[in-house]
Amino acid sequence: MKDSWIYRSVLIIILTATVLGFVNFTASLALAQKKPAKADSEEVAVGRKVSCLATIYGVDEQGRPNLKDGLPKGIALDDEGKLFAIFLDRTEVQVFSPEGKFLYRFGKKGTEAGAFLLPMSIEVTSRGRVLVLDPELKKVLTFSNKGEFQSEFSFAHIQGPNDRQPMRCTKMGLDRSHDTLYLSDSANANIKLFNLKGDFLGLFPLDRTKTRAVAVLGKTSFDSQGQIYIIDSINGWVQVYSRQREFLFSFGELGSRVGNFARPVAVSVNSEGKIYVLDRLLSVIQVFDSGGHPIGIIKDTDVPDGLNSSEPFDMIMDQQGVIYVSLQGLHCIKILKDLGERRR
């Protein structure tokens, strides 16, 4: 009888320890994943007054606006103000005038030279050459400003000194002053540098204070002073570097309150030094001063037809501070002007 009581007591202790261990493991796993909460409208900054200058839809084979099925991805501007937009539903690049009028298209689906399988990111050099990143083909393709295919290079064989996996890249940034490509390698949590010919130049000296082994680095952006802005979409921060690639400061962390990010995907900086960060999960654009301090937010209610559930993918800004945002959920690209006034 006594032995039976001892046996039951030991069994209870073992079961209790097992349950507590599982609870602690589950809590630790949840903390490690740091899944962001849904944005609380009472905990974000006051919205800013915004003007919607235009809404651009991709066009079908007959040149008619595709209002329901368009899937805009990466976007870029040339020095003349023409907009180059990847539309994944058609596996092509469509080009629009500064007023939003459709001009021409180029590219097609396939594996031959000049064709795409999964075009995602696009940049335009200071000389007007158009660069398209295809992560499925593991290539960067180069076209003339008119869409004539010129060359391509593969990054499938590129490996950094500490890489453990094949390179996986869906985002590309361009330092136009030095014609240097910044390819964000999410498989190895680093940024690889290339010239326009495809020569591998090495790794960007990323500050590892806040960067973990698991990171999804977004598109690298640059301001008019040459400062470099790097996003970690998973860990929720933005790092700022000098034009000499020296670390300056970082801002942001995972969360849904003002100054925090759930899934930052793009950064743009205007001539005054204000930093605009597009958050895909929260469907907002947060505005920061040049030191990374939050000063406002462009929310769903600030934009005609809204941003909520719009699945924003990319954002760029022209020299006048006009904002271009590709919105997959709304099948369009919106052109916005931040009027710099707080809504009341």
Place of tokens 């907002």: 284
pLDDT of residue 35: 40
pLDDT of residue 308: 64
With respect to residue 260, please indicate whether it lies within any of the assigned structural domains: yes
With respect to residue 16, please indicate whether it lies within any of the assigned structural domains: no
pTM here is 0.84
Those residues of the chain that have pLDDT short of 70 are 1-46, 210-214, 300-309, 341-344
Cα-Cα-Cα-Cα dihedral of 227, 232, 235, 239, to 10°? -10
Tell me the pLDDT tens digit for each residue of 124-141: 999 999 999 999 999 999
289: which 2 tokens? 């001063």
Place of tokens 């030094």: 273
d(CA 112, CA 90): 17
With respect to residue 35, please indicate whether it lies within any of the assigned structural domains: no
What residues make up the domain containing 125?
Answer: 46-342
pLDDT of residue 38: 41
For residue 145, give the CATH number of its domain. Answer: 2.120.10.30
pLDDT of residue 199: 98
pLDDT of residue 300: 63
For the chain, what is the domain count?
A: 1
With respect to residue 8, please indicate whether it lies within any of the assigned structural domains: no
Place of tokens 């002073």: 225
Instruction: Let me know: does 100 contact 54? Beta carbons within 8 Å.
Output: yes
Instruction: Let me know: does 44 contact 283? Beta carbons within 8 Å.
Output: no
**Per-residue three-class SS string for 151-201:** EEEECCCCCCCCCCCCCCEEEEEEECCCCEEEEEECCCCEEEEEECCCCEE
pLDDT of residue 184: 95
**Per-residue three-class SS string for 58-70:** CECCCCCECCCCC
